[in-house]
Structure 1
């Protein structure tokens, strides 16, 4: 544990960031954001303690915004210091190396930065300089190298770029609204000439909004789009107009077959698995290699137009897809799909009968952990390796039908082929648990000793430790760490 704020009050730890192997902490106390660096102090026998070094205090009450903003040994973030408004800052983990990069919107109002994405050595972000609205900006970490890339929606209107992915080591792929074509796909290499609309997929001012882009090995992306004629269907792009086109009209006509949201698409073995409704089989599991011929129904789990409604699609290992589905007999339960004669397999009827026993899962190497529910054990941790014999309840942490985890649990965290999570039982309260995927290897740390609750969350791996925040009942809520050596199959 690192005690940032001595005493019972503790620290509202808002985030942990990995700065080139150094843990950086954004703490909050009394409407003030603080930035800390954690330094490891060996205490012998492989144990470690952590000293907290204050980097800078005095930032305003809104949380510091980081995103994917580490380039080399520099962390970029948006902060309000009471003078310049919310602007772009950077730190190398030291007090003297923590400085304002640029006052993009001069004066106290701030440019209200949002989103960060590193492409090579260039930081892209969205900001409003008071003249151009919210537009695409870039920075090399210097004042002179921080500038507007392009005023996509010219004038004071905002294009509100939404970053999607990188096309290559120099090119950003994003959606934007230019005031003429609606929201469409754009690309930028950081120059005005290289910032351009890829394709007006839905002609006119309506546009469409890409929620999920799925990358294949050859650099193409598969996504759902509605061009105004076929409804929401499967499209592909390689970042060029010629390479952007409809893959297949799965449900012929204007209705559309695909949903534009997270959890119903994933790439496994260079194939996109997704939920689609062709108008005949209902919402079922489909797959595509990015060609019309290679886009097909995996299996009609519920024959007829009702569909099994696959959800929470996850990649397991290199060649399997894990998902939840309702076959009309067992309720929503865990399934596996693969290229075999059987195509799909019900892994377990967690809640026997037609009731639903399956909740969202987390991939950890060749395993998926999920919180299942049934009338005997309540809501508890389960694991599967993609086989029926390898799908089982890990531990009835809160014995009997009472729940160890709520219906909407804190986000668990995969480490190697293991998992960290928080769970409740009346003897020790809500505490830290971790597992290697076996009942014997499912263990608990009673941080707030006795029935008190430490309520751990915010798991983030930095180097050979996983950091999180917890309240031990003595120091208040502070940063804690668990060595990754506690988990199997951990890569350095």
Structure 2
């Protein structure tokens, strides 16, 4: 295929750093550096080096005369599988993209394989078990059923027609990958929505247990994988919706604990695994309100962690994230408002980390994001407005990282899209001098700074409805607009000099990139240029630094 190499832009300049001590000041406006734009090169004998950071190249034109839109995508065994929507034809298809260069350092070659096409109903639920892709798909004959693919058209097949009378997945599919087994919730038309398992063969696909006997549905979920077993909520029609466990066998599937005794439901939600064999979740036992619970999968090891808001009122535990052996979460204890809490699973080690905004209003921590042994989040202390914070679980180790928008007023968007890469957290934030731009933190004040003022001055390079930040190793890829080149793909290592872009549509036109994902030597994404609509492109993984854990 003819290779097209778009123009790309790299800039150099100093980073903006905050002082480690004393009051935080408004960052000074950046001096706009000069830019160097490499000209677009047509196919002129040039060879591409995936081990060097070079401009992205077009991988394939999946939808000639139309636009592609990625619904879902997943890496399996070094290849990219994606569900594609053809806007022009309003049809869906399953594709496999792979680098078939056979280790050659130069002149990469890609192959796009159509696995299943011309689907009128959207496939859903891509998951990987070993080297096999599973998904739910309606081929127009069997209804929505379980399918698998080995990456070939002939190996993309129906696993089993579980419900000959209709859809086995009439609801949003729940597919849970185990080490060697796929667990899922399906309705075969006789047992209701129940727990199933599959190894990818018809013989190895079976109902695990009819938890709610007969046509009633136990509706298992949400799930958490705890070693070789599952913990989940389910309703057997007798005990209400309670916590269950399963090892994939009928005998090993049982009620863990009837937390709200009798037919009442405790409704386990927000299951988060911490450490080796401890799962935190929220539940309502009918006495303490909805509070934080823990379980090791046994009845004796399932108990209320602490009644954070004393009495029958709920503490409304939310935003639960695991950071090593500690669970961080937000809750309202009725005194301090919504604040940051931490627990290792016992009442004595469950504590309010810091009353960031003293009084009953609360700082409303949000977007809790693990970074090494710490957590990065946004909060409002009542003085600085909503800003980035960090915590190591201690009061002294909980502090404001940067006052990106000085003062308490939120003139524009607060910091958002906190995204963990290796050793860093990237986010978007507004500053009066630079507008809404990408920022980065390593969990220290001096390491929290504007990545680059991509659209120099107070204008925004990030839209008011921003595209997500995509972590790639120790860097990030995202979509931005610099005022001259339209909305284009950008990538960064967290420094200004390491922030670059590719001008796929030269001039003010936009390629509107989306759906970045690292697979093998490449970072694939969807974008348009002057010759094709939105299609898959590949950027060398070498454009992104190898990160490291932050301690």
Q: How big is each residue's C-alpha offset from its partner over 1:44-95, in whole Å with a ceiling of 9 and x where there is no partner?
A: 764524221222324x32222234x322222111111111111111111112
Label 1:312 to 1:40 Cα distance change in 2 as closer, same or farther (>3 A): same
Label 1:149 to 1:218 Cα distance change in 2 as closer, same or farther (>3 A): closer
1:64 aligns with 2:123: yes
Q: Supply the distance in 2 between the matched residues of 1:203 and 1:405 (Cα, whole angstroms).
A: 51
Aligned CA-pair RMSD: 2.1
Match of 1:55 among 109, 112, 115: 115
* Structure 2 equivalent of residue 36 of structure 1: 95
Structure 2 gap ranges (5+): 1-57
Match of 2:369 among 314, 319, 332: 314
Q: How big is each residue's C-alpha offset from its partner over 1:273-304, in whole Å with a ceiling of 9 and x where there is no partner?
A: 22122222222222111111111121222222
Label 1:130 to 1:107 Cα distance change in 2 as closer, same or farther (>3 A): closer
Match of 1:82 among 140, 143, 154: 140
The answer as to whether partners of 1:275 and 1:283 remain within 8 angstroms in 2 is yes
1:333 aligns with 2:333: no
Q: Supply the distance in 2 between the matched residues of 1:150 and 1:41 (Cα, whole angstroms).
A: 43
- Normalization by structure 1: what TM-score? 0.93
1:16 aligns with 2:73: yes
The answer as to whether partners of 1:8 and 1:474 remain within 8 angstroms in 2 is no
Q: Supply the distance in 2 between the matched residues of 1:6 and 1:63 (Cα, whole angstroms).
A: 16
Matches within 5 A, 1:134-283: 134-169=193-228, 171-259=229-317, 261=318, 264-283=319-338
Q: How big is each residue's C-alpha offset from its partner over 1:114-168, in whole Å with a ceiling of 9 and x where there is no partner?
A: 1111222211111111112211111121112212112222222222212421121
1:402 aligns with 2:459: yes
Label 1:375 to 1:11 Cα distance change in 2 as closer, same or farther (>3 A): same
Q: Supply the distance in 1 between the matched residues of 2:178 and 2:481 (Cα, whole angstroms).
A: 42
- The SS at the match of 2:530 is coil
Q: Supply the distance in 2 between the matched residues of 1:109 and 1:213 (Cα, whole angstroms).
A: 28
Q: Supply the distance in 1 between the matched residues of 2:448 and 2:306 (Cα, whole angstroms).
A: 35
Label 1:351 to 1:27 Cα distance change in 2 as closer, same or farther (>3 A): same
1:387 aligns with 2:444: yes
1:435 aligns with 2:502: no
1:349 aligns with 2:407: no
- The SS at the match of 1:451 is coil
The answer as to whether partners of 1:310 and 1:324 remain within 8 angstroms in 2 is yes
Q: Supply the distance in 1 between the matched residues of 2:67 and 2:307 (Cα, whole angstroms).
A: 56
Q: Supply the distance in 1 between the matched residues of 2:60 and 2:160 (Cα, whole angstroms).
A: 33
Match of 2:424 among 367, 387, 401: 367
* Structure 1 equivalent of residue 360 of structure 2: 305
* Structure 1 equivalent of residue 25 of structure 2: none
* Structure 1 equivalent of residue 351 of structure 2: 296
Label 1:469 to 1:321 Cα distance change in 2 as closer, same or farther (>3 A): same
* Structure 2 equivalent of residue 104 of structure 1: 162
Q: Supply the distance in 2 between the matched residues of 1:278 and 1:66 (Cα, whole angstroms).
A: 38
- How far has the Cα of 1:457 moved from its partner? 1.2
Q: Supply the distance in 1 between the matched residues of 2:280 and 2:431 (Cα, whole angstroms).
A: 37
- The SS at the match of 2:408 is coil
Structure 1 gap ranges (5+): none
- The SS at the match of 1:293 is helix
- How far has the Cα of 1:335 moved from its partner? 0.8
The answer as to whether partners of 1:460 and 1:467 remain within 8 angstroms in 2 is yes
* Structure 2 equivalent of residue 481 of structure 1: 538
Q: Supply the distance in 2 between the matched residues of 1:107 and 1:310 (Cα, whole angstroms).
A: 48
Match of 1:450 among 494, 507, 511: 507
The answer as to whether partners of 1:379 and 1:404 remain within 8 angstroms in 2 is yes
- Normalization by structure 2: what TM-score? 0.83
* Structure 2 equivalent of residue 465 of structure 1: 522
- The SS at the match of 2:238 is coil
Q: Supply the distance in 2 between the matched residues of 1:123 and 1:290 (Cα, whole angstroms).
A: 29
Q: Supply the distance in 2 between the matched residues of 1:390 and 1:54 (Cα, whole angstroms).
A: 45
Q: Supply the distance in 2 between the matched residues of 1:83 and 1:22 (Cα, whole angstroms).
A: 29
Q: How big is each residue's C-alpha offset from its partner over 1:393-422, in whole Å with a ceiling of 9 and x where there is no partner?
A: 111222333322223322211112111111
Q: Supply the distance in 1 between the matched residues of 2:182 and 2:90 (Cα, whole angstroms).
A: 28
Q: Supply the distance in 1 between the matched residues of 2:106 and 2:147 (Cα, whole angstroms).
A: 36
Label 1:31 to 1:205 Cα distance change in 2 as closer, same or farther (>3 A): farther
